Amino acid sequence: MTGGIAMLRKLIGSNRGVSALEAALLLPVLAGLLYVVVEGAGALITYSSLSEASSVAARQVLMTGESSHIPDLVNALLPDLDPSDIVTTVTFEDAGSTVTVEVTYDYQTQLGGNPLSDTSSDLLTLVASTSMPVP
C-alpha cells in the first residue's frame, strides 16, 4: 500500500504532459487569430483598391462630364480583380450638383467561407463610394 501512495504522490507532483495540454488549448486560438489576420488583410487591401478606383472615377466624371466609360476605367484600375465581379454605378444627385461613383465587388475569401454569413455563399460584398460636388 505504501508503494501505491508514493506513486500517487509522484503523479500529482509531476508536470509531464502540461506542455501538450497547453499547446492543445492554445493552437485553436492561434489558428483563429491567423485566419482573422489573413482574411482581414486581404479584404482591407481589396477595399482600399476599390476606394481608390471610385475616387479616380469620380474625378474623371468631373473632368470630362461623361459617365459612360467609367466602368471600363474602374476595371482598368483594378487589374487583379475579376471584372465580372465588379459593378460600377454612377449617379448624379441633387439635380446634378453631386456625382457619386459606387464600386461594388463580390470578394472571395482567400481561405474559403464567409464567417459573417450563415448561408452557403462564400462571397463578401465590398462597397466603396465616392461623392464629389460638381463645379
Q: What is the mean pLDDT of each run of 10 residues along the chain (135 residues)?
A: 67 72 90 90 95 96 90 95 94 86 90 62 86 89
Grid cell listed for 80: 487583379
Q: Check residue 85 and give its pLDDT.
A: 92
Where are any strands of DSSP class E within the chain?
86-93, 98-108, 123-133
Q: Check residue 118 and give its pLDDT.
A: 62
Q: Rounded to the nearest 5°, which phi and psi values hold at 123?
A: -90, 140
Q: Check residue 88 and give its pLDDT.
A: 96
Its pTM stands at 0.77
What b/e sequence results for 102-119 when a residue is b if at least 16 CB atoms lie within 10 Å of its CB, and e otherwise?
bbbbbbebeeeebeeeee
**Full strand arrangement of the beta sheet holding 98-108:** 86-93, 98-108, 123-133
Q: Is 54 helix (H, G, I), strand (E, B) or coil?
A: helix
